[in-house]
Amino acid sequence: MTDACTVTVSASGVEAFRVDVGQTFRITDPEGGQVGDLFAFAAEDPEEWLSASHTRAAVSRLFPKPGEQFFTTRRRPILTFRQDHSPGRHDMLIAACDSARYVTLGQPGHASCARNLFTGLARCGIYPRAVPQPVNVFMDVLPGTTGDLTWTPASTSPGDFVAFEAAIDCVVVLSACPQDLAPVNHGGPTPLVVTLGNGASPQQPPAFDRVC
């Protein structure tokens, strides 16, 4: 954490922070080409979390776009996608990288977004039983007409960002994806930056300073 309202997620690292209803947060890719695995859990009951599959059912889209909401396992809105200053590629299909994934890639013990999730939530006293499908911000996965998926390294430029507003009180976890063995990040891994806002606008001086 660099000051009261800005959190740097180190390269291959993780941060967890609480966002109350109406408050905003912005995720910036300062160097470009970096994917972030985004998770959100209801603060009142972490057994309820942002679900990509429930979101796809609610919005009838594979991938998120500004103005739409993300939904929980109990079909409640948890986050609203407020701004997108990026190429607009954000995946909701690909699982978080994990230990088994890196075993298959010949790098057992490699850092992973799944391990980062557990690390981040443990700082908040939360111990999930599973790893939800994340919203992979800046991750470029495109389905073809035959159903094949094409993976392209993240195309974000330095300073690109996305912004979200909490629809309920929630705990958010952001992992700066450590993937360096598959076409996910463009170079790197590199850090991400989270700016916690006061709800008026992510562009306004933030007033939110609670970080798990």
Instruction: Report the interface residues with Zn ion, using CB under 5 A.
Output: 97, 113, 177, 179
Query: Nearer Cβ to Zn ion, position 23 or 179?
Result: 179
d(CA 156, CA 100): 28
Query: Nearer Cβ to Zn ion, position 163 or 177?
Result: 177
Query: Nearer Cβ to Zn ion, position 68 or 180?
Result: 180
Instruction: Name the minimum Å distance from CB 180 to Zn ion.
Output: 10
Of 89, 101, 118, 117, the closest CA to residue 181 belongs to: 101
Instruction: Name the minimum Å distance from CB 37 to Zn ion.
Output: 5
Instruction: Name the minimum Å distance from CB 45 to Zn ion.
Output: 26
Instruction: Name the minimum Å distance from CB 62 to Zn ion.
Output: 19
For residue 20, CA distances in Å to 49, 63, 197 come to: 15, 24, 10
Instruction: Name the minimum Å distance from CB 116 to Zn ion.
Output: 8
Query: Nearer Cβ to Zn ion, position 36 or 197?
Result: 36
Residue type for position 153:
P
d(CA 142, CA 150): 5
d(CA 54, CA 83): 21
d(CA 141, CA 122): 30
3-state secondary structure at position 152? strand
Query: Nearer Cβ to Zn ion, position 54 or 101?
Result: 101
Query: Nearer Cβ to Zn ion, position 79 or 177?
Result: 177
Of 208, 190, 158, the closest CA to residue 3 belongs to: 208
CB distance 50 to 173 below 8 Å: no
Residue type for position 21:
V
Instruction: Name the minimum Å distance from CB 5 to Zn ion.
Output: 26
Tokens 């809105």 locate to 77
